Amino acid sequence: MQKVHAYLKKEYPRFLEELKEYVSLASVSASGDKKQMQKCAEWLLAHCRKIGLSATLYPTAGNPVLVATTKGSAAKKLHYIVYGHYDVQPPEPLELWKTPPFTPTIRGGKIFARGSSDNKGQHFAHLKAVEAYIKTYTPLPCDISFVIEGEEEVGSSNLSFFLKKNKKMLAADGVVISDTNMPSLKTPAITYALRGIAAFEITLRGPDRDVHSGSYGGSIENPALALAHLLATLRDKKTGKILVSGFYDGVCALSAKERKAMHEDDAGDAERYRAFLKVPCLFGEKGFSHIEHTTIRPTIEINGLTSGYQGIGSKTIVPSLAHAKITMRLVPHQEPQKVIAAVRKHLTTHCPTTVTMEIKNGHGAEPYFFEPTSAAVSAAERAIKRVFGAQPRFIREGGSIPVVTDFKKILGVHSLLIGLALPDDNAHSPNEKFELANFKRGMALGAELWQELVL
Ligand code: BES
Ligand code: ZN
């Protein structure tokens, strides 16, 4: 192992240059720029081959999936999958970035770029750890296949088909994912629950074109106002409770013991949390803390809301339509399809007859939970303790990684969620960054983990 760690140390300057190259590729899945996605996938393919992995790009109905493996034909060792995603969130609004999103910049021990933390930097650390084994001729105690996809940020809808089709090749003893958070630089974590998600878009239409608000305003419904009213019926503005009938069906209550454990360190400091987000005060469903609001309670969010004139100055019109992009975060044991059906019914009942409504279903993912008591979890705990010098905390998180339930259903294995991101990494926000300290520790962790996971 000494050779592996010495290699990681010696080659670090090159690794950093490579990571810079990787994050300079604008692989934004939401905007559907196939050429950019392909370019990024091909960069990754070439890189995996260069470090000694046997790598293939598999086309899908969407963006290609990369599989890069250490597995030879005589493989008899345990086989683990390392999952990651090379797609990134849209960088807009661009004017809020201190340095351009796809021009990686190092400042104060952090690399700033879209995708640096979510998720390129994190899975790149695992790739480098395996490179260190290969290039120092250190035998790996297990076989490892990297599955790195290009559609996580848009719901991974083509990945389950890919897993089903390649079930034999991907048969594995476990999955390792670094695409979650740790509470702070000092506190590593193992995440044992993620929220699920259900997405849809709604459009209300009035006149078949924008019309003069002086000539026609008052005689017809304003679609933007109608949408504002309609969306406002979804949630009680005081209690924060979602008012869709059946929405909370199946939501499981947590034991007092687990709820208490969630608040044990200073992550429970609501004032610090408020100040970090720079809001006048926190909001949330009555009876729950901000930690619970973001982990064990379901939500409904408007992610985008558009209507009418968006240019400079004023334009006196009644807009032809109003549009919203909406997602709901789901917790055990809510089902995306049932929740969507309940919300559709609510909106249909509450929509006024003065406009027409169209609802388009989007992606969905089930919530994820596993008891963090397996031998694999203990193995990860030992490796984390060795590298971080601290015991990991066991946490629930509010984000979603759609493929984790597919890994369980299709391959029959759980995912070890060992995040290297920090809550202030600005994932999905302007000025995303990744701590270089975590890049280094992520590589060391990648190296140590395989020693422990020989169960
Ligand atoms: N890295 C996140 C998932 C995450 C975020 C886990 C925070 C734990 C805490 C991932 O890249 C992500 O953003 N996923 C999307 C999935 C969605 C588009 C289906 C998400 O959660 O919005
Ligand atoms: Zn993300």
Which ligand minimizes its atom distance to the CA of 365?
1
Mutational test site, ligand 1, from 303, 400, 405, max ligand atoms within 8 Å of CB: 400
Ramachandran region, residue 74 (left: φ > 0; alpha: ψ -120 to 50; beta: rest)? alpha
Closest CA to 408 of 369, 364, 360, 380: 369
pLDDT, one tens digit per residue, over 42-54 is 999 999 999 999 9
Pairing of strands 65-69, 143-149: antiparallel
pLDDT for res 267: 65
pLDDT for res 75: 66
What mean pLDDT is predicted for residues 212-222? 98
pLDDT for res 126: 99
Residues in contact with 327: Cβ distance below 8 Å, sequence separation at least 6, in sequence order: 197, 198, 199, 300, 301, 303, 362
pLDDT, one tens digit per residue, over 132-182 is 999 999 999 999 999 999 999 999 999 999 999 999 999 999 999 999 999
What is the spatial distance between Cα 46 and Cα 221, in angstroms, rounded to a whole number?
Answer: 56
Q: Assess whether the C-beta atom of 425 lies below 6 angstroms from ligand 1.
A: no
pLDDT for res 76: 80
CA dihedral 172, 176, 180, 184 (to 10 degrees): 160
Q: Whose CA is nearest to atom 18 of ligand 1?
A: 153
Q: How far does the centroid of ligand 2 lie from the alpha carbon of residue 315, in Å?
A: 36
Q: Which atom of ligand 1 is nearest to the CA of 199?
A: 19
What is the spatial distance between Cα 346 and Cα 351, in angstroms, rounded to a whole number?
Answer: 9
Q: How far does the centroid of ligand 2 lie from the alpha carbon of residue 189, in Å?
A: 18
Mutational test site, ligand 1, from 148, 153, 195, max ligand atoms within 8 Å of CB: 153
pLDDT, one tens digit per residue, over 371-408 is 999 999 999 999 999 999 999 999 999 999 999 999 99
Q: How many degrees, rounded to 5, is the angle at CA 43 between CA 42 and CA 45?
A: 60
* Whether the predicted model's global pTM rises above the 0.95 cut: yes
Which ligand minimizes its atom distance to the CA of 122?
1
What is the spatial distance between Cα 398 and Cα 378, in angstroms, rounded to a whole number?
Answer: 23
Burial class (CB in 10 A: 0-12, 13-18, 19+), 339: buried
Mutational test site, ligand 1, from 87, 149, 152, 178, max ligand atoms within 8 Å of CB: 152
pLDDT for res 265: 76
Q: What percent of the chain has pLDDT over 90?
A: 97
Which ligand minimizes its atom distance to the CA of 155?
1
Q: How far does the centroid of ligand 1 lie from the alpha carbon of residue 445, in Å?
A: 22
Task: Kindly report the average pLDDT of the chain as a whole number.
Answer: 97
What mean pLDDT is predicted for residues 203-230? 98
Q: Is the pLDDT of residue 266 over 70?
A: no
Which ligand minimizes its atom distance to the CA of 177?
1
Look up residue 120 and give its DSSP letter: I
Domains in the chain and their CATH numbers?
Answer: 2-194+368-453 (3.40.630.10), 196-251+298-365 (3.30.70.360)
Tokens of 238: 């005081």
